[in-house]
Structure 1
Amino acid sequence: MPDERVKRFHRLHASGCFVMPNPWDAGSARVLEEMGFEALATTSAGFAWTTGVGDNQVGLEASLEHLRMIADSVDVPVNADFQGGFAVDPQGVHDHVLLAAATGIAGLSIEDSTGDQSDPLHEFDLSVERVRAARSAIDDSGTGVLLTARSEGFVVGRPDIDETVRRLEAYSAAGADCLYAPRITTVAEVAAVLAAVSPKPVNLLINAPFLSVAEAAALGVRRISVGGTLARAAWRGFLDAAQEIKDDGTFTGFTQLPDVEGLLSAPRPGRAGRHT
Structure 2
Amino acid sequence: MVNPVDTLRALHHDRAPEDPLILPGPWDAASARVFEEAGYEALATPSAGIALSLGYEDGQVPPEEMFAAIGRIVRSVSVPVTADVEGGYGLAPKELVDRLLETGAVGCNLEDSFAAEDGTHALRDPAEQAAFLAAVREAAGDRLFINARVDTFVRGVPEPVAAAVERGRLYVAAGADCVYPILAPAESIPALREGIEGPLNAVAVPGGPSLRELGALGATRITFGPGLLHRAMSSLRDIAEQLR
Q: What TM-score, normalized to structure 1?
A: 0.80
Match of 2:213 among 206, 211, 215: 215
Equivalent residue for 1:131?
Answer: 133
Query: Aligned residues: percent identity?
Result: 34
Q: Deviations over 1:57-103 (max 9, x none)?
A: 0121111111111111111111100110111xxx7234212321232
Equivalent residue for 2:124?
Answer: 122
* Higher relative contact order structure (alpha carbons within 8 Å, sequence separation ≥ 6): 2
Equivalent residue for 1:158?
Answer: 157
**Shift of the alpha carbon at 1:145?**
1.5
**Cα distance in 1 between the residues matched to 2:185 and 2:239:** 31
1:10 aligns with 2:18: no
Gaps of 5+ in 2: none
Equivalent residue for 2:27?
Answer: 24
Structure 1 or 2, whichever has the larger Rg, is 1
**Cα distance in 2 between the residues matched to 1:100 and 1:158:** 31
CA RMSD of aligned residues (A): 2.1
Question: 8 Å contact 1:81–1:110 — kept in the other structure?
Answer: yes
Q: Deviations over 1:208-254 (max 9, x none)?
A: 23222222222332111001001111222344565xxxxxxxx4x34
For 1:102, what is the secondary structure of its paired residue?
helix
Instruction: Show the 5 A alignment for 1:1-276.
Output: 4-16=3-15, 17-87=20-90, 92-116=92-116, 118=120, 120-139=122-141, 144-158=143-157, 160-187=160-187, 189-198=188-197, 200-239=198-237, 251=241, 253-254=242-243
Question: 8 Å contact 2:127–2:170 — kept in the other structure?
Answer: no
Stretches of 4+ aligned residues off by more than 4 angstroms = 239-242
**Range moving further from structure 2, 21-30 or 59-68:** 59-68
For 1:120, what is the secondary structure of its paired residue?
strand
**Cα distance in 1 between the residues matched to 2:129 and 2:148:** 10
- Equivalent residue letter for 1:201: P
**Cα distance in 1 between the residues matched to 2:219 and 2:234:** 29
Question: 8 Å contact 1:204–1:224 — kept in the other structure?
Answer: yes
**Shift of the alpha carbon at 1:185?**
1.5
Question: 8 Å contact 2:186–2:209 — kept in the other structure?
Answer: no
**Cα distance in 1 between the residues matched to 2:88 and 2:93:** 5
For 2:202, what is the secondary structure of its paired residue?
strand
Gaps of 5+ in 1: 243-250, 256-276
Question: 8 Å contact 1:85–1:97 — kept in the other structure?
Answer: no
**Cα distance in 2 between the residues matched to 1:216 and 1:4:** 29
Provide closer, same or farther for how the CA distance between residues 61 and 118 of structure 1 changes in structure 2, counting only shifts above 3 A: closer
Specify which structure has the higher proportion of strand: 2
**Shift of the alpha carbon at 1:3?**
5.8
- How many residues of Structure 1 are paired with residues of Structure 2 in the alignment? 237
Question: 8 Å contact 1:121–1:152 — kept in the other structure?
Answer: yes
